[in-house]
Amino acid sequence: MAEVRSLNIDDACDGILVQSPLPKALGKAVEQEVFDTIDPAKDVDCFHPANIGRLTQGRAVLAPCTPSGVIELLVREGIAIAGQRAVVIGRSEIVGKPMALLLLQRDATVTICHSRTKDLPAVAATADILVAAIGRPGFVTPAFVKPGAAVVDVGINPITVRQDVVTLFGAESPRVATFDSKGSVIAGDVHPAVAEVAGALTPVPGGVGPLTIAMLLKNTVIAAEQRST
Amino acid sequence: MAEVRSLNIDDACDGILVQSPLPKALGKAVEQEVFDTIDPAKDVDCFHPANIGRLTQGRAVLAPCTPSGVIELLVREGIAIAGQRAVVIGRSEIVGKPMALLLLQRDATVTICHSRTKDLPAVAATADILVAAIGRPGFVTPAFVKPGAAVVDVGINPITVRQDVVTLFGAESPRVATFDSKGSVIAGDVHPAVAEVAGALTPVPGGVGPLTIAMLLKNTVIAAEQRST
């Protein structure tokens, strides 16, 4: 907390991102207090309630990096958002909810799904744009995907059991060799078989992840510019 | 603005609600500035971005009155929310968006529709709970409603043309007599014929409207209690 306060008043610091989750021993209340302490003008991943409020109102200066990256990706790939059905699986503060709000702001018809959603594959399959942010490797199978839909895989899940890699990617996959040399591989929330159904699909790793970093730098530049005017 | 500032520091004032919309001549920017000026601790209709952020994060102390009233109504009527499909038509800052967030917080699978939504009746007809907050009299016809769904009508639309009353409610309706004596009647966003399809339907007037006022008083008491502790 003291560190955040000192960065708040340090003029050489333009952006503050507290990597969550904080150690569990601290508890949720302390974690929230830390986020609430960040100067909203330096809050480059949009954790402060005042910034989330502005995001909800569609007038965010700093938007959360991962969802902003997804919007940037859809726009650059020429994928229409306005008037399209978008389904977001996952309702986290850091991805799911802001993702839904940004898609809504771009005039998509947005549905937010989560662990309590009934008939999840059927609901997901209504989507023209499907965003998976659940945190379970290979959870989104072809049954979740309308043929031709754009599928954005936000999941970054380490797999540390060899058999799980073989089951998910197949014994012939280069990922098995990667596992054998590194002892783990990264898998997204989307099952590899979805590639045969989707119109477009972001890879994991190398898809949304690098974009998130890019948006973080962009937000830091915006924050610096705002503070200097 | 000066009035809001003086109420902010007036200890005898527990709650501030600026009735929107403000006169159009003032412009949107000034209206937003007025809302942003309200002390979040006295912001009993949840207009301040810090309060909207807390609402989005699911930790609101003061939630917007109309959507809170709708939740209260569903709970009191014993209508299940968790795991149900909810569709909100309308994405205003004051009803649509916070309504969607509160339904999500109660574990509904939530879809937000708006003027750019394609096949709106079909999307609406997926709902177990349908909330209409559009501002167009009789807009939601039976084609929008799954048989047995709970339909909440947030619309409060004055009708000032006699023929419109006859068209919407029928020549035999008591509303025609009301019109003849008063020169106008109030109609909701939901068409009267929906009563034959819906499992439950809030009336207009007399439905959500009075609940909004009750929630406003409740929020004012909460705000007063919070400030005195």
Span A185-217, pLDDT tens digits: 999 999 999 999 999 999 999 999 999 999 999
Q: How many CB atoms lie within 10 A of CB A79?
A: 16
What CA–CA distance (Å, rounded) separates B113 from B140?
Answer: 13
User: Is residue A82 less than 8 Å (CB to CB) from chain B?
Assistant: yes
Contact at CB, B55 and A56, closer than 8 angstroms: yes
The answer to whether the Cβ–Cβ distance between A32 and B110 falls below 8 Å is: no
Any idea of the CA torsion for A17, A19, A20, A26, to the nearest 10 degrees? -100
- Separation in Å, CA of A98 to nearest CA in chain B: 9
Mean per-residue pLDDT, A13-25: 90
Using 50, 70 and 90 to split pLDDT, how confident is the model at A21? confident
Residues 10-39 of A with CB under 8 A from B: 32
Question: What mean pLDDT do residues A126-132 have?
Answer: 98
Q: What are the pLDDT digits (tens) for B13-56? A: 999 999 888 888 998 889 899 999 999 999 999 999 999 999 99
Q: Where in chain B is the domain with CATH 3.40.50.720?
A: 66-207
User: b/e map of B95-111 (b: 16 or more CB within 10 Å)?
Assistant: bbbbbbbbbbbbbbbbb
Considering only alpha carbons, which residue of chain B is nearest residue A111?
Answer: B111
Instruction: Check pLDDT > 90 for residue A95.
Output: yes
In chain B, residues under CATH classification 3.40.50.10860 are 2-61+213-228
The DSSP bridge pattern shows strands A109-113 and A85-89 to be: parallel
Stretch 100-159 of chain A: residues touching chain B, C-beta under 8 Å: 100-101, 104, 107, 109-114, 116-118, 123
Tell me the angle at which helices B162-169 and B174-182 cross, rounded to the nearest 10 degrees.
170
Which pLDDT tens digit goes with each residue over B58-70? 998 899 999 999 9
Structure tokens at B178: 């009301």
Q: How far is CA B1 from CA B27, B50, B224, in A?
A: 14, 18, 22
Looking at the complex, report in whole angstroms how far the Cα of residue A170 sits from the nearest Cα belonging to chain B: 34
Give me the helices (H) in chain B, please: 2-9, 28-37, 49-56, 65-76, 96-105, 120-124, 162-169, 174-182, 208-227
**Chain A residues in contact with B86 (beta carbon < 8 A):** none
Q: Does domain B66-207 have CATH number 3.40.50.720?
A: yes
Q: Locate B185 and state its tokens.
A: 């009647």
Q: What is the pLDDT of residues A39-93, one digit of tens each?
A: 999 999 999 999 999 999 999 889 999 999 999 999 999 999 999 999 999 999 9
Place of tokens 């000034």: B30
Q: With an 8 Å Cβ cutoff, are A57 and B55 in contact?
A: no
Pick from B105, B101, B84, B89: nearest CA to B140 = B89
Q: What's residue A61's pLDDT?
A: 87
CB A200 within 8 A of CB A77: yes
Which residues, 6+ apart, have CB-to-CB distance to A3 below 8 Å? none
Q: What is the pLDDT of residue A20?
A: 82
Q: What is the model's pLDDT at position B21?
A: 83
**Containing H/E element for A6?**
helix A2-8
Asked if residue A205 lies in contact with residue A157, where contact means CB atoms within 8 angstroms, the answer is no
Judge: B116–A93 Cβ closer than 8 Å, yes or no.
no
Which structure tokens are listed for A94? 């850091």
> What is the mean pLDDT of the segment spanning B102-122?
98
Tokens of A161: 């059991």
Q: What is the pLDDT of residue B207?
A: 93
Predicted local confidence at residue A229, as pLDDT: 80
What homologous superfamily is domain A2-61+213-228 in, according to CATH? Leucine Dehydrogenase, chain A, domain 1 (3.40.50.10860)
- Give the integer Cα–Cα distance in Å for A179 and B117: 45
Q: Which of B197, B177, B38 is nearest to B130 (CA)?
A: B197
Contact B83/A117, CB-based, under 8 Å?
A: yes
Residue from the list A32, A82, A118 with its beta carbon closest to the beta carbon of B116: A82
* Angle formed at CA B143 by CA B139 and CA B149, multiple of 5 degrees: 95
Instruction: Write the DSSP symbol of residue A146.
Output: -
Contact (Cβ atoms closer than 8 angstroms) between residue B41 and residue B227: yes
Confidence of residue B229 (pLDDT cuts 50, 70, 90): confident
- Which residues of chain B are within 8 Å of residue A112 when distances are taken between CB atoms? 100, 104, 109-111
Tell me what pLDDT residue B28 has: 86
Q: Helix, strand or coil for residue B156?
A: coil
Measure Cα distances from B112 to A122, B85, B97, B136 in Å. 18, 11, 8, 17
Cβ contact (<8 Å) for A55 and B54? no
Average pLDDT over every residue of B105-128: 98
Residue A117 C-beta-side C-alpha neighbours within 13 Å: 23
- What is the C-alpha to C-alpha distance for residues B189 and B175, in angstroms, rounded to an integer? 16
Predicted local confidence at residue B218, as pLDDT? 95
Rg for chain B (alpha carbons), in Å? 19
Under a CB-based contact definition with an 8 Å cutoff, are residues B220 and B45 in contact? no
In sequence order, what are the residues at sequence separation of 6 or more whose Cβ sits closer than 8 angstroms to the Cβ of residue A67?
Answer: A95, A98, A99, A101, A102
- Per-residue pLDDT tens for A105-124? 999 999 999 999 999 999 99
Mean pLDDT for chain B overall: 95
What does A38-68 look like in DSSP terms, one character per residue? Answer: S-GGGBTT--SHHHHHHHHTT--SS--HHHH
CB atoms under 10 Å from CB of B65, counted, come to: 25
- C-alpha–C-alpha distance, residues A65 and A82, integer Å: 21
Question: Given a cut of 90, is residue B82 above it in pLDDT?
Answer: yes
For the cut 90, the answer to whether the pLDDT of residue B1 exceeds it is no
CB within 8 Å: B50 and A55: no
Query: DSSP string spanning B94-150?
Result: TTHHHHHHHHHHTT-EEEEE-TT-TTHHHHHTT-SEEEE-S--TT-B-GGG--TT-E
